[in-house]
A and B are shown apart, each in its own frame.
Chain A
């Protein structure tokens, strides 16, 4: 592989853009196909299908065999609330190769000292989420317990194609939330996208345990098609 190709591939990943590296196995010839260039590639159909599945693999075309290294953008977790659970969740999520961003307008919470390894934005969610372009590789996790902060983020998440939305709070809290979001014009099917109470039921107690259950639920949603029937 040419170093320039490898470098381009890494740059696409860093920019959260999908790309496919095509390798002709006999000759070793390679090319990088960016998402925007797929339509004009001779392997367009196979590239589109592979990217949709997010799976690398072999394709045969015209008597030649190609390996497609599919690189979907890394999963990103946007956490609303620079709270205790978030402090546990951020390093765990990074550990499974997710990008993490913390958002909380309360400047006492949203400090780099409390979150040394991830970007922390001391802003209101509705001020920063539009420019973050929530895509289908994004999970939105609302952890503040405060509707003033959580709701604007949930509105943005529900209007996006993000793959996971979770919100902290008891069933009662969630029932009130559902009422507010229904009043804001969302249908039942939209609101069913919200995982609440958040996290897999593992009986979590401490902030770190709750972080495990939230992270496990995000992975379970991401890998839905691989899960065994219960």
Chain B
């Protein structure tokens, strides 16, 4: 499925209406060269289905993992990603930028 910003938030609404646990992650701040602009969304459900992006694929895995906790306890979280050290290949931004991502549950 094509994931434009329109589709992403519509999908979040549709998934929630189906009764799935849903979280929305939003890029709220970027420094340096960041792959996705402020305001970009990633939508995640409780089965780790997801749509959209907050980076070029670099940190989505970590955001999805955190999103599951947000779906479970309902508490929004602020995540920050930068150039990671030895785990760069895993959850860092190889582009050298830093981003802050806000993750919240759809209630």
Mostly helix, strand, loop or mixed at chain B's interface? mixed
- Is A74 positioned at the interface, with any CB of B under 8 Å from its CB? yes
Interchain pairs with CB closer than 8 A, number = 59
Q: How large is the interface on B (under 10, 10 to 19, 20 to 34, 35 or more residues)?
A: 20 to 34
B24 at interface by CB-CB < 8 Å: yes
A-B contact pairs, 28 of them (CB 8 A): A1-B24, A1-B106, A3-B13, A3-B106, A3-B107, A6-B9, A6-B13, A6-B24, A6-B106, A9-B9, A10-B10, A10-B13, A13-B6, A23-B102, A23-B104, A25-B102, A56-B26, A56-B28, A56-B37, A56-B39, A57-B28, A57-B38, A58-B28, A69-B39, A70-B39, A74-B6, A97-B4, A97-B7
Number of interface residues of A (CB under 8 A): 22
Interface flags for A5-25 (1: CB within 8 Å of B; 0: not) read: 011011001000000000101
Nearest A residue (CB) for B7: A97
Q: Does A186 contact B (CB under 8 A)?
A: no
- Cβ–Cβ < 8 Å partners of B76 in chain A: 28
Q: From the candidates A2, A9, A25, A96, name the one contacting B107 in the complex (CB within 8 A).
A: A2
Residues A6 and B12 in contact, CB atoms below 8 Å apart: yes
**Residue A130 at the B interface, CB < 8 A?**
no
Asked if A69 and B26 sit within 8 Å, CB to CB, the answer is yes
User: Does any Cβ of B come within 8 Å of A137's Cβ?
Assistant: no
B1-24 residues with Cβ-Cβ distance < 8 A to A are 2, 4-7, 9-10, 12-13, 16-17, 24
Q: Which of B5, B6, B37 has the most CB of A within 10 A?
A: B6
**A159 an interface residue at 8 Å Cβ cutoff?**
no
B22-65 to A contact mask, C-beta < 8 Å, 1/0:
00101011000000011100000000000000000000000000
- Whether a CB of chain A sits under 8 angstroms from the CB of B98 is no
Asked if B107 contacts A97 (CB within 8 A), the reply is: no
